DNA sequence: TAGCGAAAGTGACCACGGTCAACTTTCGGA
DNA sequence: TCCGAAAGTTGACCGTGGTCACTTTCGCTA
């Protein structure tokens, strides 16, 4: 019924992860060769794939752990007091999500775009993002953030704008302005409280 | 100075495009093999790459021409009279942009995410989308659409939500509801006119 | 029309992710 | 302590995208 994982397998997996992490930190996504990792770990190619499914399987773990750390730090800090501060608060997370186009690509592909129960640390991170954002938003309603919409909907919208702003990073025309500067006008318009009637 | 393109090259290119289009229409992105196309066209592999750069070069042309056709049809039709009609009006375009995950992936990667001058029919389509949307929005301001924001910013925001809604299509949890149903609440909240003070 | 330079096309070759049938190791129970 | 089944591992093999030094074709001018 249960399937006990042998320590041998855990060790192999840990070794692959560690070596993969080293390569990822040094060269990013593009400089990660399965054959290289496998050679350094002293195992056969097939072993890699039996552990991670495919190359992206490892990458999602590596990217996911960085995203998790970033989000944890953000959640532990003081929540922003106004929509304008959202972008700055989220900047460290976005830096992990989109250090380069290939990474961002993987993040998007495994995002489950806010809300699948499907596996994966990236998808889980997106769910956690919504929770954090929802908390921030609910806390600021109704004075600093519009109260005529569901906080969860607003939170998802923030994610959509984050993706938009990150994508613009890889476009020559917009890469000059910082990512939070690009995000801010959208969030301001999206979250602005309705004028008092 | 000028570089006259030989008719021979044009014919080869046209043949590759035509065969590629046939495969794309039958099997989508995933069922497109460069070697197959090249064999049917009776040319060498290198010829393909000298014409399109890489496999995605051809795919962006094929996807781009479908997106262009869809957007042209939308632009020619009557503009929507309320935010709620945006989603329905845009549905045919979104169907071309995201018939499957792989296609959507390519679209995103070549979008220039609204606003690079960089080449490519997909990036150009994104620019054209903004123009169409800006027109729609400006037309409805200030009664049916909020007037406190720049129409271009609102248009870009619509694109961000479109991407979000399309991404949700490939997520088990959300694929049940139609894409326009998913998009509508966001657009309603994003574009809703401010209450009269 | 010979011949030259550039454009177009060729195909052997490579890189690299991924597969799978066979083999080895582990471990619980008889 | 031996056995069988399942977990773990192996590495030869494959598919496919992409490269590049070389050949062929074309248009032009002397």
Each residue's pLDDT tens digit, B135-161: 999 999 999 999 999 999 999 999 999
pLDDT reported for residue A196:
59
- Which 8-state DSSP code applies to residue B196? P
The spacing between the Cα labelled CA in B173 and the C1' in D13, in angstroms, equals 39
Protein residues with Cβ atoms closer than 7 angstroms to any atom of nucleic acid strand D: A 3, 5-6, 8-9, 11-13, 42-47, 49-51; B 4, 6-8, 32-35, 45-46, 49-50, 54-56
Region B61-71 average pLDDT: 98
What residues of A are in contact with residue B115 (Cβ under 8 Å)? Answer: 168, 171, 173-174
The spacing between the Cα labelled CA in B51 and the C1' in D29, in angstroms, equals 29
The spacing between the Cα labelled CA in B55 and the C1' in C16, in angstroms, equals 17
Q: What angle do CA B151, B156, B157 make, to 5 degrees?
A: 95
Distance CA B157, CA B163 (A): 10
Q: Minimal Cα distance from B166: which residue of A?
A: A113
Region B78-106 average pLDDT: 97
CB atoms under 10 Å from CB of A1, counted, come to 2
Region B165-189 average pLDDT: 89
pLDDT reported for residue B194:
78
pLDDT at B111 over 70: yes
DSSP for B139-179, written as a single string:
HHTTTTS-SSS-HHHHHHHHHHHHHHHHHHHTSTTTSSS-H
What is the rounded radius of gyration, in angstroms, for the C-alpha atoms of chain A?
Answer: 19
Chain B nearest-CA distance from A153, in A, is 7
The band of A2, judged by pLDDT with boundaries at 50, 70 and 90, is low
The band of A148, judged by pLDDT with boundaries at 50, 70 and 90, is very high
pLDDT at B197 over 60: no
pLDDT at B70 over 70: yes
Query: Residue B33, CA: closest nucleotide via C1'?
Result: D16
Contact yes or no for B133/B155 (Cβ under 8 A): yes
The band of A118, judged by pLDDT with boundaries at 50, 70 and 90, is low
Q: Which 3-state string (H, E, C) describes A117-163?
A: CCCCHHHHHHHHHHHHHHHHHHHHCCCCCCCCCCHHHHHHHHHHHHH
CA-nearest of A106, A155, A108 to A132 is A155
Least-confidence region, from A49-58, A187-196, B55-64: A187-196
Region B174-191 average pLDDT: 92
Chain A residues 97-156 with a CB less than 8 Å from chain B: 101, 105, 108-109, 111-118, 148-149, 153-154, 156
- Choose from B161, B171, B193 for mutation: most chain A CBs within 10 A: B171
Complete domains list, chain B, with CATH: 1-53 (1.10.10.60), 55-191 (1.10.357)
Distance CA A187, CA A165 (A): 11
Chain A nearest-CA distance from B103, in A, is 12
Each residue's pLDDT tens digit, A157-180: 999 999 999 999 888 777 778 899
pLDDT reported for residue A1:
42
Contact yes or no for B28/B99 (Cβ under 8 A): yes
pLDDT reported for residue B117:
53
Chain A nearest-CA distance from B151, in A, is 12
CB atoms under 10 Å from CB of B54, counted, come to 11
CB atoms under 10 Å from CB of B18, counted, come to 13
Percent with pLDDT over 70 in chain B:
94
Q: What angle do CA B28, B30, B33 make, to 5 degrees?
A: 100
Q: In the structure encoding, which two tokens stand for residue A169, read together? A: 């990073």
- Residue entry with tokens 């006119």: B193
Q: What angle do CA B115, B117, B121 make, to 5 degrees?
A: 85
Distance CA A82, CA A68 (A): 24
Q: Of B45 and B5, which is predicted with more confidence?
A: B45
b vs e for A118-153, b when ≥16 Cβ sit within 10 Å of the residue's Cβ? eebbbbbbbebbbebbbebbeebbeebbbeebebbe
- Calculate the alpha carbon distances from B62 to A67, A121, A195, B23, B100 in Å: 35, 34, 47, 11, 15
pLDDT at A14 over 80: yes
Q: Minimal Cα distance from B183: which residue of A?
A: A157
pLDDT reported for residue A173:
73
Q: In the structure encoding, which two tokens stand for residue B105, read together? A: 């992936």
pLDDT reported for residue B1:
43
pLDDT at B118 over 70: no
Q: Is the dihedral of CA A85, A89, A91, A97 positive or negative?
A: negative
Distance CA A136, CA A148 (A): 16
Each residue's pLDDT tens digit, A76-117: 999 999 999 999 999 999 999 999 999 999 999 999 755 445
Across chain A, what does the average pLDDT equal? 93
């Amino acid at each position: 019924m249960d399937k006990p994982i042998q320590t041998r397998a855990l060790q192999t997996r840990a070794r692959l992860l560690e070596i993969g992490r080293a390569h990822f930190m040094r060269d990013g996504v593009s400089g990660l060769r399965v054959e290289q990792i496998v050679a350094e770990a002293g195992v056969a190619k097939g072993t890699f794939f039996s552990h991670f499914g495919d190359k992206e399987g490892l990458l999602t773990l590596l990217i996911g752990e960085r995203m998790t750390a970033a989000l944890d730090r953000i959640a532990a800090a003081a929540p922003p007091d106004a929509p304008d501060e959202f972008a700055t608060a989220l900047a460290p997370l976005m830096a992990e999500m989109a250090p380069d186009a290939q990474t961002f690509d993987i993040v998007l592909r495994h995002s489950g775009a806010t809300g699948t129960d499907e596996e994966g640390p990236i998808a889980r991170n997106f769910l956690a993002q919504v929770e954090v954002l929802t908390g921030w938003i609910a806390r600021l309603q109704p004075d600093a953030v519009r109260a005529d919409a569901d906080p969860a909907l607003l939170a998802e919208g923030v994610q959509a704008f984050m993706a938009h702003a990150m994508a613009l990073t890889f476009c020559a025309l917009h890469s000059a302005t910082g990512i939070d500067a690009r995000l801010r006008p959208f969030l301001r318009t999206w979250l602005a409280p309705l004028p008092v009637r």
